[in-house]
């Protein structure tokens, strides 16, 4: 019969316990750390490829199997010219670990994040809106620093078409939370 | 809505070369800011734009951009 060294009724729960080994079966779902990043520095993209905005956040996980919960909110400006009847923007999250880049959530086409259509032929229309992205990164598999960056793409850069992140120096923010397994 | 300086800055570049893809950071519109414009030269393996701050377009210079801005 295995020797039972301690039972719950034999432990003073008011005491402080400093474990030097590994405790399993506890702590799952705990928010181990939270990082908040923000920028008021605008970034304007006139091209259709994804480009780094100025919103970036970094976190160093304590475990390879933890999950990183990511939330982004950005104040975005869209300029619709009269050359086309529509305009749009795409958004995505780029993850960097040790210099290696990967794409997490991504709009497949640079209009699926935000799309405006106007067939009235009015030129140079401006739109401003707040967009939000959520993502759970469970594939990082590292305890090295991870950098997440918000990227934007413009559907139509013709004429003066463009998309702007952190428009007019309004805050773009990112929250990262490490959730333990 | 009245055009802001940054609007004129971007529009001026597009007048000189329509459809040119580039990124502007911040809202400065000085010659120094022109020197920091990121001109797209391609994309990497995950589809992120690749840039250079050395303007590869001979038809776009700060002098010409300033002149176009003044017309707007």
ipTM of the complex: 0.93
B17 touches chain A (CB under 8 A): no
- Classified as helix, coil or strand, A72 is strand
pLDDT in tens, A1-49: 666 667 777 778 788 877 776 666 665 789 999 999 999 999 999 999 9
A-B contacts (CB, under 8 Å): 70
Whether residue A35 contacts residue A154, with contact meaning beta carbons closer than 8 Å, is answered with: no
Nearest partner of A124 among A160, A98, A151, judged by Cα: A160
pLDDT in tens, B7-17: 899 999 999 99
How buried is residue A119: exposed, middle or buried, by Cβ count under 10 Å (0-12/13-18/19+)? exposed
Residues of A in contact with B21 (CB under 8 A): 45-49, 157
| Phi (first) and psi of residue A43, to 5 degrees | -140, 130
pLDDT in tens, B23-58: 999 999 999 999 999 999 999 999 999 999 999 999
How buried is residue A98: exposed, middle or buried, by Cβ count under 10 Å (0-12/13-18/19+)? exposed
In sequence order, which residues have a C-beta less than 8 Å from that of residue B56 and are 6 or more positions away? B39, B41
Nearest partner of B72 among A124, A119, A28, A103, judged by Cα: A124
pLDDT in tens, B57-69: 999 999 999 999 9
Question: What does pLDDT average to over chain A?
Answer: 88
Look up the pTM and report it.
0.87
* pLDDT reported for residue A82: 67
* pLDDT reported for residue B18: 87
Residue to test with chain A: of B22, B33, B44, B68, most A Cβ within 10 A: B22
Q: Which of B11, B14, B49 sits opposite A51 (nearest CB)?
A: B49
């Amino acid at each position: 019969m295995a020797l039972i060294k301690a039972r719950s009724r034999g432990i003073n729960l008011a005491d402080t316990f400093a474990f030097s080994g590994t405790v399993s079966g506890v702590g799952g779902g705990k928010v181990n750390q939270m990082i908040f990043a923000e920028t008021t520095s605008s970034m304007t993209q006139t091209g259709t490829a994804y480009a780094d905005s100025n919103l970036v956040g970094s976190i160093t996980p304590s475990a390879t199997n933890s999950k990183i919960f990511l939330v982004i909110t950005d104040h975005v400006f869209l300029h619709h010219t009269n050359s086309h009847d529509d305009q749009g923007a795409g958004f995505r999250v780029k993850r960097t670990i040790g210099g290696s880049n990967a794409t997490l959530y991504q709009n497949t086409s640079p209009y699926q994040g935000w799309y405006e259509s106007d067939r009235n032929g009015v030129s140079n229309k401006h739109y401003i809106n707040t967009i939000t992205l959520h993502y759970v990164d469970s594939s990082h598999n590292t305890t090295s620093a991870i950098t997440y960056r918000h990227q934007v793409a413009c559907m139509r850069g013709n004429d003066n078409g463009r998309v702007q992140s952190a428009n007019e120096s309004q805050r773009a923010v990112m929250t990262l939370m490490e959730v333990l397994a | 809505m009245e055009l802001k300086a940054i609007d004129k800055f971007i529009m001026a570049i597009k007048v000189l070369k329509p459809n040119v893809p580039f990124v502007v950071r911040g809202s400065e519109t000085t010659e120094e800011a022109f020197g920091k414009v990121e001109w797209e030269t391609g994309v990497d393996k995950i589809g992120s734009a690749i840039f250079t701050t050395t303007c590869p377009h001979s038809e776009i210079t700060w002098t010409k951009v300033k002149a176009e801005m003044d017309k707007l």
